[in-house]
Amino acid sequence: MSSSKRLKQRKVLLMGKSGAGKSSMRSIVFSNYVAKDVRRLGATIDVEHSNIKFMGNLMLNLWDCGGQDGFVENYLLHSRSHVFGGVAVLIFVFDIESREFAADVINYGNIIRALEECSPNAKVFCLIHKMDLVQSGFRHSLFEQRAEHIRAASESFGEAVEFFPTSIWDQSLYKAWTQIIYFLIPNAQTIESMLQDLAEVIHAREIILYERTTCLMVTHITKGTELQNPFTDRFERISSILKTHKHSMAKHMGVPAGSANFAELQIKTGRFMFFITRLTENTNLAVSLPPYEYIFNSARVNISLMRPRFAELELSNKKRPDIGSRTESNDDSRERGEGAN
């Protein structure tokens, strides 16, 4: 395989106390489980390794580490360099209802010191999980309180640690994992730059890039009036809707949920037009547009023309190609007064 198409591997540790929900969230995000089905999952024994291809040229080497005391002691004393060496990201999961939170933080501190020793440049994400079990009025304050205690035990990683409240029963899980994946993608800023140019060309109000298998958002471009959109969790909601739709298609087609995909989804109203379509083999693109048919048709054609360039970027680490050619622009049509509904 040529060096330009060689997979970029990233080692990811998924750690936390046994029963915190690590394997459940991994199964929902990467194995197309639904929340009600994770009850049949057993406890993780030692380490479960998963190699997950993501976005064409990214391979996640995910280590789901059992949280029982004996396993953690083995990681720290006997397999320290093996487990904590070469880590790009540590995801540590805290159970919000744990009755041994102080002990959980001490355990976290020991793991942080091992990570600091073996992989000082790693990124740390802390997910305070099972937030659905806390009364809604107390969630924010309890989350902030727990995050403060955990940050104090984060040694040199300190202020760089990112915290997320999560639950398998709502879109908060997708929000957290979206940020984790964004950090891992080697050319995320280049992809964003190309999407920014594409949004200008097609006069999009918003463009959202999703990974096809997991339905996780990779990045988005938001412009104009959409900057004031009050539904700040809309990206994760769409992830959840896409995931549910994939399960429905898989059920009726008799195929695994990970294999079910759709060609295109379109919504047209008097206030906006919206469609989700394939961009590359590994990504879907959601686009929000003004409510004019000529803008809608032009956008679909321009996206089709751009697919080979995004595919090339996805399989390499090259700098972004310029977006030069396009179909007749919306400005050109507007000057002739055509297409308005």
Cα–Cα distance list, 143 to 96, 130, 341 (Å):
8, 11, 49
Q: What is the pLDDT of residue 274?
A: 95
Is it the case that residue 145 has pLDDT exceeding 80? yes
What is the band of 7 on the pLDDT scale with cuts at 50, 70, 90? low
pLDDT higher for 6 or 34?
A: 34
| Exposure of 248 in the CB half-sphere (CA atoms within 13 A) | 7
Is pLDDT at 304 greater than 80 in this prediction? Answer: yes
- Neighbouring CB atoms inside 10 A of 221's CB total 21
25-66 confidence digits (pLDDT tens): 888 888 777 776 666 665 566 688 888 877 767 888 999 998
Judge whether residue 314 has pLDDT over 90.
no
pLDDT tier at 316, thresholds 50, 70, 90: low
Q: Which domains are seen in the chain, by residue range?
A: 3-184 (3.40.50.300), 188-335 (3.30.450.190)
Q: Residue 2: its pLDDT value, please?
A: 41
Distance of CA 163 to the CA centre of its chain: 15
pLDDT digits (tens, 9 = 90+) for 188-225: 888 899 999 999 999 999 999 998 888 889 999 999 88
